Amino acid sequence: MIQLFYCGTLAASLICAVIYIFMWHRHFDVNFTMIFTLVPVACLGYFLSSMAETLGEALFAVKIIYLGGCFLQLFIVLNIFGLCKIRISRWTRTALFLICTALYMPILNIGNGTSFYKSVTFEMGEKSGTLIKEYGPAHTVTYGAIFMFFAVGLAAVIYSWLKKKQVPRTVLGLLVLPYLICVVSYYLIRKIVPEVEFVPLGYVIAEVIFLIIAYRVNLYDVSDTVIDSMVKDRAIGYVSFDFKSRYLGSNSVAKRLVPELRDIAVDELFGYKPSQRKIRHFLDSFKSDPEKNTFLYTFRTAENEELIYSAKVNYLYDNDRRRGYIVTFTDDTANQKYIRLLDSYNEDLRQEVEVKTRHIVEMHDNLIMSLAMMVESRDNSTGGHIKRTSQGVRILVEEIVRSNAFALSEEFCRDVVKAAPMHDLGKINVDDAVLRKPGRFTDEEYEKMKHHAEEGARVIHEILRQTDDESFKIVAENVAHYHHERWDGSGYPAALSGEQIPLEARIMAVADVYDALVSKRVYKEAFDFQKADRIIMEGMGSQFDPALREVYVAARPRLEEYYLSLEQS
């Protein structure tokens, strides 16, 4: 009969564990899992104890029983602290675990030492055996520690009931029950029926209560339930990155919107390929101004249906720590189409606004060009550099389009040519003593001059902050920021290499260096075309993109013709 009782409690504990596994949720506290692991272990110990026929078998069963007894109270207390939102440090958790481990060591030594049982013998009855034992000091310490865990857990529940209004009262009430059941089963029922241990029954009832708590607890965690609800919404996409802009992961919706995410490897640097540039721009804009974190992202389906998504950038959190960035795509098509519908009723006004806008854009472009010319006027070594490099970029871009060396859109080509005059805007923040020096720079002066690339990107970002032409803004910032990067990674300011350098900056670099070679500067005379050509060709693959070699060779006659025309005018 006793064996049947222990067998039943073991079976019930395993059933509860299986139910827990079935309802397991990734947001469950690990302490829940440990409770549902240790209770069946303890019940197994009681069952083995009832089946023991020798002293060795009985002692082995005791060790299994106390494996649950020593550690179960710890994980119950840690679970209570978690449910009551009482934070304890990981060092404290580790120390408590080590204490429980130390308490279990004398139990493992039962039969070989006298610290837990001073003496122990085994008497076999008609149906089951009984251990006759004399307790040692370690037994007293172990039970004292178990009582301490019990008192701490109960105190935490009482404190939370009185002080923490955000902790659900249902959960607090349920947390008290396992304690009361264990106390009643160990102290009271044991005195009534001394030949049977009712502790495993108390454990099983406690398991049932913890199942109820586990079922309820996630409903109270707003952050987890909201996240789960949003993840289930197939209209929302997520892409995450670390602070170094390395790709961390994305869901299926994001992969559908940005097909390149299917091919990129986790931890791969993101954003330097043309197809990734727009998402990278979202991240860069957020880094420079976290308030500007919402953008529009247009996507066309296989049926050529246009979908418009709101792309929002926020910090990616791990508990309270910022670990990177997350871009959230939300379908905004209906709202945007509604806006377009409203616009259709104001067609005349829209056309007038377009005319005004075009005029403003022209004024804006003229203002930018004037600003670039003003910056150049401060530099007594590069007169006419802006116009010459702009024409050089135009010639190179036209040759790229003619030869189809790169698959470039018409918009991209227009943006590169338009952005070329802005590449040295950062010199506006370079000190006159450096900028107007009539000779070569010292190392210190050169370091100051190198800051103009980053400053240029910053100035352009501020000037174009409110522009609707996002693609031009990206190209202009890249041209200013990266036109001094080198293919081999030895350039500045970011030491980018290879295709990490945006294509527009690679094109600008060739035109910029070519003009510096064939033009007179305060620190050198102009090189002839042959010497300049030799230097450019030698730099292909180290300073310049080797893919631009054939483009440059094809464009060289027009470049020379252009610079000859300047000499004759």
Residue 165 CA, chain-centre distance (Å), reads 33
**Phi, psi (degrees; rounded to nearest 5) at 295:** -140, 165
Report how far residue 473's alpha carbon sits from residue 508's, in angstroms, rounded to the nearest whole number.
Answer: 16
Question: Strand 117-124 to strand 129-135: parallel, antiparallel, or no bridges (unpaired)?
Answer: antiparallel
Domains present along the chain, CATH in parentheses: 2-221 (1.20.1070.10), 233-344 (3.30.450.20), 347-568 (1.10.3210.10)
Structure-block tokens of residue 360: 């403003």
Beta bridge partners of 133: 120
Q: In the chain, what is the greatest distance between 2 CA atoms, to the nearest angstrom?
A: 122
Q: List Cβ neighbours of 332 (8 Å cut-off, separation of 6 or more).
A: 296, 308, 309, 310
> Which residues, listed in sequence order, are joined to residue 16 by a DSSP beta bridge?
none
Q: Mind listing the pLDDT tens digit for each residue in 35-86? A: 888 889 988 988 888 888 888 888 898 888 888 878 888 888 888 888 787 8
140, pLDDT greater than 50: yes
Residue 394: pLDDT above 90? yes
Residue 196 CA from chain centroid, whole number: 55
Does residue 132 sit in helix, strand or coil? strand
**294-352 confidence digits (pLDDT tens):** 888 888 877 787 888 888 999 988 767 788 898 888 888 878 777 767 666 666 666 77
Q: Which band of pLDDT confidence, cut at 50, 70 and 90, is reported for residue 353? A: low
Q: Is the pLDDT of residue 226 over 50?
A: no
Helices and strands, number each (H, E), in the chain: 22, 7
As a whole number of angstroms, the distance between CA 34 and CA 26 comes to 14
Edge-to-edge strand list for the sheet holding 247-250: 247-250, 236-242, 321-331, 306-318, 294-300
Structure-token pair, residue 290: 């976290």
Task: Choose among 314, 172, 310, 305: nearest CA to 235.
Answer: 310
Task: Look at residue 475 and tell me whether its pLDDT is greater than 50.
Answer: yes
Q: Provide, rounded to the nearest whole percent, the portion of the chain with pLDDT above 70.
A: 80
DSSP structural state of residue 308: E
CA 330 and chain centroid, separation: 19
Residues 6+ apart with CB under 8 A from 150: 73, 179, 182, 183
Question: Is the predicted pLDDT of residue 502 greater than 90, yes or no?
Answer: yes
All residues at 6 or more sequence positions from 129 whose CB lies less than 8 Å from its CB, including other chains: 52, 53, 54, 58, 122, 123
**CA quadruple 541, 547, 551, 554: dihedral sign:** positive
Long-range contacts of 121-126 (CB under 8 A, 24+ apart): 121/55, 122/52, 122/54, 122/55, 122/58, 124/53
pTM here is: 0.45
SS3 128: coil
Q: Find tokens 């299994």 and name the residue.
A: 64
Angle at 314 between CA 311 and CA 316, to 5 degrees: 125
- DSSP 8-class letter at 314: E
- For residues 504 and 478, the answer to whether their CB atoms sit within 8 Å is yes
- In angstroms, rounded to a whole number, what is the distance separating the alpha carbons of residues 67 and 38? 8
**pLDDT tier at 223 (50, 70, 90 boundaries)?**
very low
